[in-house]
Amino acid sequence: MSSSSWLAHPVAIPFNKPYLAGRELLYMEQAVRAGHISGDGPFTRRCSQWLTQRYGFGRALLTTSGTDALELAALLCRIEPGDEVIVPSYTFVSTANAFVLRGARIVFADSGPDSPHLDAEQLAALITPRTRAIVPVHYAGMGCQLDLIADLAQRHGLWVVEDAAQAINGYFQDRPLGTWGQLAAFSFHETKNISAGEGGMLAVNEAALQARAEIIREKGTNRAAYFRGEVDKYTWVDVGSSFLPSDLTAAFLWGQLEELDHIQARRSQLWQLYYQALQPLQTAGVARLPVVPAGASNNAHLFYLVCRSLAERSRLIEHLRRHGILAVFHYQSLHRSPFFAPHHDGRPLPHADRYSDCLVRLPLFHELSEADVLRICELVTDCLLGRT
């Protein structure tokens, strides 16, 4: 679409709007007045302790982004050139890129026929003697066949690194997402349920990795041990980088975490309203609604439809845009990307491609009204049933 077309259809309902719970700016001011706004300050520790206690992570380390959490995980797994890492093709580039940076060969898995999640049934056939890790992605904040994945990984001696970027407050078989793998990466980007603008967290559930995770996160130094009085000076002891977020970021995040239950309840209400209002489209066979995998909870991270074709999806997005509503597609299959296509092993991944071409996400954010949702659903219904 040209820039003039965008201007002709101003957005009345955006796809996302960051939510201010109320105390974020107050806490940021407190951090400034306390004189500690760099990493690992009081608010960082408060957030980490709260997340660890609520969800039972081995240790929760805040990072500057979900991407950084994945890159820290790849370092902790000691991924080396030639190692193979199994990743779903239908995911954000950070999921694969964290391991590509370590020299890994990415082996892409297809999605399932009923949902964009990695199809765990096909994983066994992808494992070779060079496989080191499986990285399941909890698409839309819903867990994916983690019992099968964990069992398979244990039998083959593999790391499980959960990409839980969208999955805060999600569960699988009543167990928090982020506690199934040895490591799990979360995002607190402004598009997520709980936001710090940018920000992330690595859950380190393997006790043997926790000390090293702290060192890598602190540029490869034992600085944290020094400030705890465990060593008389700190020095360079391992590889590392600067993964620490500012305490200003953590202060903002703390304001969100305090209101997590309220935020989650509101998102769930809107998600359920979408589902009920659009159910007739699935009954009519013109679109498919989200499938919550067996055993998984729904943290209402996003609401999507799967259209019958790329052309139909494009028509729907344009129809909504003409009415001032911004709906968007999602990931493009990584195995078809310009960067990776020359390295893909040639296996067709039809379900990943179908979601790339047919999935559309509808607006979902805290301040969206019930009237807005019903208006969106009316427009979607009219378009897909050919009433326009």
The whole-chain average pLDDT of the chain stands at 95
Q: What percent of the chain has pLDDT over 90?
A: 93
CB 104 within 8 A of CB 159: no
What is the pLDDT confidence band of residue 7, given thresholds at 50, 70 and 90?
A: very low
> Is the backbone of residue 346 left (phi > 0), alpha (psi -120 to 50) or beta?
left
Query: How much is the average pLDDT of 188-192?
Result: 98
In the numeric block, the tokens 């779903």 are attached to 88
Residue 11 has pLDDT above 80, yes or no: no
The average pLDDT across 320-332 equals: 97
Is 146 within 8 Å of 136 (Cβ atoms)?
Answer: yes
User: In this predicted structure, what is the pLDDT of residue 223?
Assistant: 87
**What is the SS3 string spanning 343-354?**
HCCCCCCHHHHH
**Contact yes or no for 131/369 (Cβ under 8 A):** no
- Choice among 2-6, 66-70, 170-174, 336-340 with the minimum mean pLDDT: 2-6
Q: Quick one: DSSP state of residue 43?
A: H
What pLDDT was estimated at residue 3? 38
Q: DSSP states of 176-206 as a string? A: ETTSSSSEEEEE--TTSSS--SS-EEEEE--
> What pLDDT does residue 141 have?
98
Tell me whether strands 183-187 and 159-163 are parallel, antiparallel or unpaired: parallel
Better-scored residue on pLDDT, 348 or 223: 348
The residue type at 336 = R
- What integer pLDDT is reported at residue 60 of this predicted model? 98
What pLDDT is recorded for position 137?
Answer: 98
Q: In order of start, what are the domains of the chain with their CATH numbers?
A: 3-17+260-384 (3.90.1150.10), 24-257 (3.40.640.10)
Q: What is the pLDDT of residue 5?
A: 44
Q: How confident is the model at residue 227 (pLDDT cuts 50, 70, 90)?
A: confident
